[in-house]
Amino acid sequence: MNLNVVFVFLCALFAGGHSLKCYECSGVTSSCVGVETTCPSNSTTCTSVTVTQSFGLATVSGAGKGCNAPQNCVNGSLNFGISRTALSMDCCNTDLCNGRDVTDYSSTTPNGKQCYYCNGITCSNKLNCSGTEDYCIKAQVTSVTALKGCASKSMCNVTTQVTQGYVGISCCQGNLCNGAKSITQHLLFVLWPFFFYILIH
């Protein structure tokens, strides 16, 4: 057998033998069973996540499992006043270690911090942050469209990596540090699909 063919064959065996395997699934309920999948080389952890989205009095939960990059393993919440998204995530680095569903760790207890939020007319509304929301966040989508609210530090670290379609996303510490500039339009929580996608892929 040609030596080059042997080398390629051995490399394939080595790569295949060391690729992480995780359960993968997504669902609109709080439970998700999952099927086995082999992760790409840049995904070195398995993830199980519960996502809770609240709009006023309505709450929807979803669950997901899959391959993930370590920097995307976060727990926390984003609160934009009229909508709030909380992520509860477990990450691990051995084959099929993400079989267990994750309990919703998020807290809605006020923590004493305040940030500005937008309601469609103005961005001078004050929002009481809760749980681990210790930062204020703002995202400028266009010159007249903005999102503002409270965020956990871990969520800030993920969202500030997103630039497509946004003039800018930034987080700051200190009460009401995200400004009160008025706008003429409000964008209803457009980050939700991004979070559910990036955190389980």
- Please report the domains of the chain, with CATH numbers, ordered by start residue: 21-198 (2.10.60.10)
Does position 168 have pLDDT exceeding 80, yes or no?
no
Q: What's the pLDDT score for residue 60? A: 87
Q: Does residue 2 surpass a pLDDT of 80?
A: no
pLDDT at 126: 95
- Nearest to 53, CA basis, from 201, 194, 163, 157: 194
What is the pLDDT confidence band of residue 179, given thresholds at 50, 70 and 90? confident
Q: What is the mean pLDDT of the chain?
A: 78
pLDDT of residue 32: 81
**High-pLDDT (> 90) share of the chain, %:** 40
pLDDT higher at 102 or 6: 102
Quick one: tokens of 196? 């559910």
* 3 state SS for 82-148: CEEEEEEEEEECCCCCCCCCCCCCCCCCEEEEEEEECCCCCCCEEEEEECCCCEEEEEEEECCEEEE
Helix (H) or strand (E) holding 197: helix 192-198
pLDDT digits (tens, 9 = 90+) for 22-33: 999 987 776 788
Q: With 0-12 CB in 10 A as exposed, 13-18 as middle and 19+ as buried, what is 95?
A: middle
Rounded to whole angstroms, how far apart are CA atoms 10 and 159?
40
The model's pTM: 0.74
Positive or negative, the CA dihedral 130, 131, 134, 140 is negative
Give the pLDDT confidence of 131-164 residue by residue, as tens digits.
999 999 988 766 666 789 999 998 888 765 554 5
Query: Residue 63: pLDDT above 50?
Result: yes
Cα separation, 16 vs 72, in Å, equals: 24
State yes or no: pLDDT of 1 exceeds 70.
no
Burial of 33: CB neighbours in 10 Å, binned 0-12, 13-18, 19+: exposed
pLDDT of residue 160: 59
